[in-house]
């Protein structure tokens, strides 16, 4: 009796060992040429053909036009029963990879593993992207044309810098220009001037475009002299200045924008000084204008 039990246990252990030593295997049917090509690929990867005692994955390979269609029979107990999983591939090597993923559990597991999808970064320049606030230091320069309350027309330049301080920008501006259009009675005179302003800008974003209203205060001067005299002679009128402005920045690159601005400026004369020889008392020098309206076109550089 003991010998029978021992012999039975030996048979069971042998059967279990044989089952555990089964190589990965796949049985192929279908188009003969396609089956032969895929079989060669599987043999090279260590995937055996069907054996009597080992489990096997059954696959059918058919040609449909230029594609190979691989049909994998669902394992027993799958749902729905008897249905097949089909994949269309372009070459035998890919067909072999599909079959191998079903034969080898060590390949299928990573394919079925749940992975966290990283959050997609939103490009502010893309449609629907939320605009980022302006940041850092911005520099700007522009050419400007001004019309004054005394009917003179000015041509000049504007230079400035702006430092972001949270939602606002602390700005400094320097204006400089000269009269290029004169009304009647101005034929004998020339005038130039300059102002320095310090103020606050408030950028408002519309996508990547920024509308920036602001105001500033400062000090300025205008020097008027006879045409033909040195630019260092004449009558200088100076005093405080105040302005309100609106700028529109249209980005061209991530750091350069086209800058369009309008400015309304008020002037006040609190000082007068004569440079060089005293002007002819018989000829009245024109008064300083009380207001100027400017239009400027330039570029802005910085963190837009």
Please tell me which residue, 213 or 108, carries the higher pLDDT value.
213
Mean pLDDT of 259-286: 80
Q: How many CB atoms lie within 10 A of CB 230?
A: 10
Whether 99 and 146 share a structural domain: no
- The reply to whether 116 falls in a domain is no
Q: Are residues 174 and 100 in the same domain?
A: no
Residue 208 CB partners (closer than 8 Å, separation 6+): 124, 125, 131, 251, 304
Residues 128-137: tens digit of each pLDDT = 444 444 568 8
At which of 93, 108, 123 does a domain end? 108
In this structure, the answer to whether residues 84 and 141 fall within a common structural domain is no
H helix or E strand, kind and range, residue 67: strand 67-73
User: Does one domain contain both 155 and 267?
Assistant: yes
Segment 257-273 shows an average pLDDT of 91
Q: Which residues constitute the domain of residue 141?
A: 135-303
Same-domain status, 143 and 227? yes
Instruction: Check pLDDT > 90 for residue 280.
Output: no
For residues 201 and 269, membership in a common domain is answered with yes
Q: Report the pLDDT averaged over residues 18-24.
A: 64
Domain match, 73 and 139 both: no
Question: Would you say residue 212 lies in a domain?
Answer: yes
Classify burial at 91, counting beta carbons within 10 Å of its beta carbon; exposed 0-12, middle 13-18, buried 19 or more: middle
pTM: 0.53
Quote the tokens at residue 232: 């260092």
In a domain, 151, yes or no: yes
Q: Do 52 and 173 fall into the same domain? A: no
- Percentage of the chain beyond pLDDT 90 is 35
CATH of the domain at 72: 3.30.160
Residue 150 and residue 295 in one domain: yes
Residue 227 belongs to some domain of the structure: yes
Looking at 108, 123, 145, the residue that finishes a domain is 108
Query: Distance between the two ends of the chain, CA-based, in angstroms?
Result: 93
Structure confidence by residue, pLDDT tens digits, 52-103? 777 778 888 898 877 888 888 765 444 444 456 888 888 888 888 888 887 7
The CATH number assigned to the domain holding 224 equals 2.40.160.20
Structure tokens at 4: 């029978």
Chain-centre distance for alpha carbon 192: 43
CA–CA dist 300, 139 (Å, integer): 6
123, part of any domain? no
Is 204 inside any structural domain? yes
**7-11, 34-38, 79-83, 139-143, range with greatest mean pLDDT:** 139-143
Structural domain includes residue 113: no
* pLDDT bucket at 227, cuts 50 / 70 / 90: confident
Sign of the dihedral through C-alpha 42, 47, 49, 50: negative
Clarify whether residues 148 and 195 are in a common domain.
yes
How many domains, the chain? 2
Is 104 found in the same domain as 160? no
**Is residue 168 classed as helix, strand or coil in its secondary structure?**
strand
69 part of a folded domain: yes
Query: Could you tell me if 165 and 254 lie in one domain?
Result: yes
């Amino acid at each position: 009796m003991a010998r029978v039990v021992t012999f039975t246990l030996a048979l069971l252990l042998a059967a279990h060992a044989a089952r555990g030593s089964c190589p990965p295997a796949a049985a192929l049917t279908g188009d003969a040429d396609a089956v032969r090509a895929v079989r060669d690929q599987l043999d090279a990867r260590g995937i055996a053909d069907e054996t009597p005692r080992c489990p096997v994955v059954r696959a059918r390979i058919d040609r449909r036009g230029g594609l190979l269609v691989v049909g994998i029979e669902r394992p027993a107990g799958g749902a729905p029963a008897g249905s097949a999983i089909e994949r269309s591939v372009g070459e035998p090597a890919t067909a072999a990879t599909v079959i191998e993923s079903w034969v080898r559990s060590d390949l299928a597991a990573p394919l079925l593993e749940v992975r966290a999808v990283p959050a997609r970064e939103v490009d502010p320049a893309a449609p629907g992207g939320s605009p980022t606030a302006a940041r850092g230091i911005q520099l700007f320069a522009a050419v400007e044309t001004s019309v004054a309350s005394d009917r003179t027309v000015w041509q000049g330049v504007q230079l400035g810098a702006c430092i972001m301080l949270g939602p606002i920008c602390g700005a400094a501006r320097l204006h400089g220009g000269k009269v290029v259009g004169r009304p009647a009675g101005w034929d004998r005179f020339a005038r130039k001037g300059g102002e320095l302003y310090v103020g606050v800008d408030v950028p408002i974003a519309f996508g990547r475009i920024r509308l920036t209203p602001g105001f500033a205060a400062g000090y300025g001067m205008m020097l008027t002299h006879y045409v033909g005299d040195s630019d260092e002679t004449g009558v200088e009128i100076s005093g405080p200045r105040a302005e309100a402005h609106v700028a529109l920045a249209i980005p061209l690159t991530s750091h350069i924008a086209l800058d369009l601005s309008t400015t309304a400026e008020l002037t006040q004369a609190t000082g007068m000084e004569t440079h060089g020889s005293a002007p002819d008392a018989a000829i009245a020098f024109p008064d300083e204008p009380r207001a100027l309206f400017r239009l400027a076109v330039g570029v802005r550089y910085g963190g837009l």
